[in-house]
Amino acid sequence: MTPTSVEKPHHVDDARMRHISDADLAEAFGVATLADLRAQLSLPGRPRPVWDPARWAAANPASGPAVVAEADALLDRQVDFLDRGMGRSRLYGFHYLGWLNPLIQADALTGDPRYAECFERFFGQWYDSRDDVVGDWPGLDVIWYSLGVASRGAVFAKALAVFGDRLSQTRWAQLVKAIVGGARWAYEEHDSFRHGNWQLFSVAELLHVASVFPEAVEAPAWSARARQRLLDHLDRDFYADGGHHERSPGYHTMCLEALHRAAVIGEQHLGWDLAADERFRATHDWLAKLADDVGWIPHLQDSGVVWPAKLLLRGDYFHPGLGYGDLAAGWLTPAEIAEELSWLPPAPPRAPAAHAVVRGSELLATSRYAILRGAGTQTVVNFGPHVGHELESHSHHAALDFVIAADGVPLAWEAGCPPSYDDPGYYDWYQATRGHNTVQPHNAQLSTERAVVVDTFATLPQLDVFAAHHDGYPVRHDRRIVFVRAEPHYWLVTDVLGQNGFVWRIHGLAPWTDHGPGYRTAGLLVVPADPAGVERSDGPARIPDAATRQADYGTIHGLHLTFDGDRSDVLLTPAAGQQAPPTLSRRGRTLVVRVGDYEDHVTATHWKRFDAHTGTLIEDAAWS
């Protein structure tokens, strides 16, 4: 799509936003002079930022060394705020100024005046040069756009609260002007609902500014508009199953963090119980259901690997008794739990919920992911649409693709999201069909209009079945995944296309080697029922590590099987613990899986397990 923004073309030289005079700033707070305003904003007992560095510092003196080291690294740093060499997208992110947060936290911990002085130096350079910043996205101002205004507003509010009294009069006034100007811009920008993370994130910070600076004459209007937009987003920008509109776990967490901020503001300042809204609760369910047993969520669409434990801990703060805290306690240390809770004010009394979130095999029917869960294994299948965005879509060009993990280690993995949207491989690897575990007819590109229809979803004691089709290619594609959770477990993937000739793709964590009738990578065997042409490739992707709770970039290895007909049947099994390589064959319309001491028969509606030596029927299951 053409990269254009739908944000309104503001006159950003408007004195109400960018060039606020000292007299206008005082008037905005209903006082006569800047001296009066500084005195007013220095009074004890004023509202503090929601994520209050002072409260955090008081509770976490042991965090000092790591935070202080980050701050110390900034003390002698030189910055060019006009440097377009940062990259088209990174320039925008740099001007969020989140990289200044360590200075604020280190000051709250130590009171060392060097951190306030360093912040003032950077802020002054930014403020003096911001009119000259030029970006490369057509129609999108680097400074005056939703994410930039909101992100800086949160940083500035914390800075003012922690060391505002130690800033020079000129820089202090400019800091307040930047906050007020940003709030005015966001208020005008978001006069009507728009889908996506930009607006939700922006109006949550607008609500925050209104609550931290209630003396501002415009604060009631800011608060009312922000609250209305937040309700709009809960109603129209989240699916019924709790997933965010863009279907990306990373952007879902960004939006949920904004809702957390708004919920605390509502409780502390507005008498607004956002936490009581069932739609707010469901956003936490979505994370809990998609999380692997070791605590990460796959990098679906434009997302990094997400570690949702801290967000679920906050979910327990708002919704005790749903099991979010138990999940978080299994993934975080006691010290990490204490630190995360220290950012939050004491919770008001809440009645425990009557039921806990259920984590099993499930069809997230509205956000359009299928979860097939077994003992230690999780499969996530994407059957969602291509979702639009204000700038560029965060949806990938793949349908009915899947990822598989066992015991917290990826077995079948995908490209995920790049380290930066400026990455040269963003379009032809990370977003492209070839970086995903799906099929692709020869010379065919997946349309953004794919209209996936789920034909079957069944979860039974022995197995799960997911079947769907779409018309995103010039021909119809049907895919069925039968996940047998009964030991020995496996996945049987059947694809049917409306033409002869296609490529079947899967990616693992190690180079593929020939193994019996199939191919082997780290932890996974792939066995096709039919002969196929074979190609191999590799590419970068984040690889989650449960021990470190990090997902650094490594290499994933692609196996590309070319089939001449219009159908493929492929067996996927764990690579370890088998006496003999498994086999897959056909008997008429029945697929026969020989695995270990068993012979399984699979049809369009039935699964039967026999003793491979005696032919005795052991168990069976049927679905419609």
Secondary structure (3-state) at 192: coil
Q: What integer is the mean pLDDT of 369-387?
A: 96
In which residue are the tokens 């000129």 written? 170
pLDDT of residue 12 exceeding 80? no
Cα–Cα distance for residue pair 234/283, rounded to 1 Å: 9
Model pLDDT for residues 52-100, shown as the tens digit of each residue: 999 999 998 877 888 999 999 999 999 999 998 888 899 999 999 999 9
pLDDT at 2: 31
pLDDT of residue 453 exceeding 90? yes
Q: CA dist 83 to 13, 142, 219, 393, 487, Å? A: 22, 12, 35, 26, 57
Instruction: Decide if 284 contacts 320 (C-beta within 8 A).
Output: no
pLDDT confidence bin for 10, thresholds 50/70/90: low
Model pLDDT for residues 526-551, shown as the tens digit of each residue: 999 999 999 999 999 999 999 999 99
Q: Which of the following CATH numbers is that of domain 362-574: 2.120.10.30, 3.40.30.10, 1.10.3720.10, 2.70.98.70?
A: 2.70.98.70
Q: Which of the following CATH numbers is that of domain 193-359: 1.50.10.100, 1.25.40.10, 1.20.120.420, 3.40.50.1980?
A: 1.50.10.100
In terms of Cβ atoms closer than 10 Å to its own Cβ (0-12, 13-18, 19+), residue 501 is middle
pLDDT at 3: 37
CB within 8 A of 2, min separation 6: which ones?
Answer: none
Instruction: Decide if 481 contacts 372 (C-beta within 8 A).
Output: yes
pTM, to two decimals: 0.95
pLDDT of residue 303 exceeding 80? yes
Instruction: Decide if 578 contacts 516 (C-beta within 8 A).
Output: no
pLDDT at 350: 86
pLDDT at 310: 97
pLDDT confidence bin for 356, thresholds 50/70/90: confident
Start and end residues for every CATH 2.70.98.70 domain found in the chain: 362-574
pLDDT of residue 4 exceeding 50? no
Cα–Cα distance for residue pair 479/399, rounded to 1 Å: 10
pLDDT of residue 173 exceeding 80? yes
Q: How many Cβ atoms sit within 10 Å of the Cβ of residue 96?
A: 16
pLDDT confidence bin for 577, thresholds 50/70/90: low
Start and end residues for every CATH 1.50.10.100 domain found in the chain: 193-359
pLDDT confidence bin for 1, thresholds 50/70/90: very low
pLDDT of residue 227 exceeding 80? yes
Closest CA to 144 of 157, 156, 154, 131: 131
Average pLDDT score, the chain: 94
Instruction: Decide if 95 contacts 149 (C-beta within 8 A).
Output: no
Instruction: Decide if 377 contacts 406 (C-beta within 8 A).
Output: yes
Q: What integer is the mean pLDDT of 188-202?
A: 95
Cα–Cα distance for residue pair 38/164, rounded to 1 Å: 9
pLDDT of residue 320 exceeding 80? yes
Closest CA to 570 of 554, 582, 555: 582
Model pLDDT for residues 340-352, shown as the tens digit of each residue: 999 999 888 888 7
CB within 8 A of 382, min separation 6: which ones?
Answer: 300, 301, 368, 369, 398, 399, 400, 401, 402
